[in-house]
Chain A
Amino acid sequence: MLTKRIIPCLDVRDGRVVKGVRFQGLRDAGSPVELAAAYEAQGADELVFLDISATTEGRDTHRNTVAAIRSAIGVPMTTGGGIRTAADAERLLEAGADKVSVNTAAVERPELIAEIAGRFGSQCAVLAIDAAGCPGRTDAWEVVVRSGKERTGRSAVEWAIEAERRGAGEILLTSWDRDGTRSGYDCALLEALCKAVHIPVIASGGASSPEHMVEAFQAGADAVLAASIFHDGEWTVGGIKDVLAKAGVEVRR
């Protein structure tokens, strides 16, 4: 049986891992290569590395960091940040990424998903969705872009369905309301979205305990992503897997 995946996330700016609340107030959390190797040794099933460099020089740094992480680790790596074309994706896949994730660029130009999936296969094409609750409603979420600065009015669930149709192989779903709050994943959002698509869904945003991860799996997630609880040394991946296994979640150990 396929096990549930635990995925540490590295948000990297100018070559250093950073972490903030709702992408604000970023603080240094270490070297991406060292953290990647440490998380693999702890039992990480996969890694996500998002480059959030604001500068154009950031592109080469991004590629070089992918290559350096790839030399160090033997588990899958997804990377995202600044990918606007299939050629951008190709540079990162060639450098050693196994999948690429697109976010804002795909909202602006949804054909990008099909371009990446058509050229490299759906198994390389991850769509990252940042979703925020619609004011006054508990059953509707909208897509936000540009690191949450802009609300699109587009339904997150509808967007996921469209992305699957366009060839996305996986959804990385971040709850904008929960990200960095340590209050747990948005399970209502997860449940609604997981029911709507057939491709795997990675839950992101809000985790501060293994119990939150159990809840996410119960809501239908195939994998859970977290950053600060690992960077802060609060939990190791292995420690989390011990708790998950006791709760009846099948994990690789």
Chain B
Amino acid sequence: METTVAIVRTGVANTASIIACFARLGVEAAVCDDAVRIAQAPAVVLPGVGTFGAAMAAIKEAQLDQVLEERIIRGAPLMAICAGYQVLFESSEESPRCAGLGVFQGLVRRFPSGVRVPQFGWNRLTTGQTPGVLTGGYAYFANSYAVTGDAVPSARFGEVLRPESLQTATATHGVPFIGAISCGSFLGCQFHPELSGPWGQRLLSRWLSSAGCTAGESSTC
């Protein structure tokens, strides 16, 4: 049976939690590192637990960098989580000599001193005016690094991730930072929707809908 959601193998990520969350929504998800399947899957999740450098190394080793960029340019459904979301930016203080995918401009920075790092727990997310799959609520974070400032797509993604249709959500931990970015069926989350209880599960459900995937249909979407 073909799975609806392909979860990119980025080394050790908490894929069991992601698979369980989709299962509760009646959708089959499976871990995959095959470039062709990831290019063609109805929906793809780029997870990431661990470092920016480790996530990028896994993506490059499986030659998935182009596949992922092409999915975004085609507008094919993609959700990136935590370190998987951070690698969409140009670089990170966590792995200084490692280039990210550069879908968005900017640097991922360590939280300032004076707050507990890692940020572990539930933080309030506030959404802007632009409509999208994101809503305000409490989201579960487990991160030491984040992006402050605005979400600005790199020029080559500007046609798809149009600034006027980007929905961003912010949270504060010492400094305000980007909690999530959505645009059509693209969703990047600094937090873990799969661990964010019923609120997170509803977000995954809306993302599946935006991707044209209906819960309960496991083979096609």
**Could you tell me which A residues sit within 8 Å of B by CB distance?**
1-5, 40, 45-46, 67, 70-71, 74-76, 90, 93-96, 98, 119-124, 169-170, 198-200, 222-223, 252
Contacts and interface: CB of A to CB of B under 8 A. Distances in A.
A3 B49 CA distance: 22
Interface stretch (B33-41, B156-164, B196-204): B196-204
A74 B197 CA distance: 5
Contacts of B118: 122-123, 169-170, 199-200
A98 B140 CA distance: 12
A123 B195 CA distance: 14
Interface residues of B, number: 38
Interface of B: 12, 14, 16-17, 20-21, 23-24, 49-51, 113, 115-124, 138, 140-144, 172-173, 192, 194-198, 200-201
A46 B195 CA distance: 9
Contacts, number: 103
A5 B5 CA distance: 31
A93 B20 contact: no
Nearest to B83: A121
B173 A2 contact: yes
A98 B122 contact: no
A1 B143 contact: no
B141 to A, nearest CB: 8
Nearest to B141: A2
Max chain A C-beta neighbours (<10 A), residue from B12, B172, B200: B12
Contact of B121 (A67, A124, A199, A223): A223
A3 B117 contact: no
Contacts of B115: 2
Nearest to A5: B121
5 contacts: A3-B124, A74-B20, A74-B196, A96-B14, A223-B121
B107 to A, nearest CB: 20
Contacts of B197: 40, 74-75
A170 B113 CA distance: 16
A96 B17 contact: yes
Contacts of B51: 121
Pick the 7 closest A-B CB pairs, nearest first: A96-B16, A121-B50, A252-B138, A252-B122, A123-B142, A200-B116, A76-B195
B24 A74 contact: yes
Nearest to B49: A121
A98 B173 CA distance: 21
A121 B40 CA distance: 30
B114 to A, nearest CB: 9
Contact of B140 (A76, A124, A199): A76
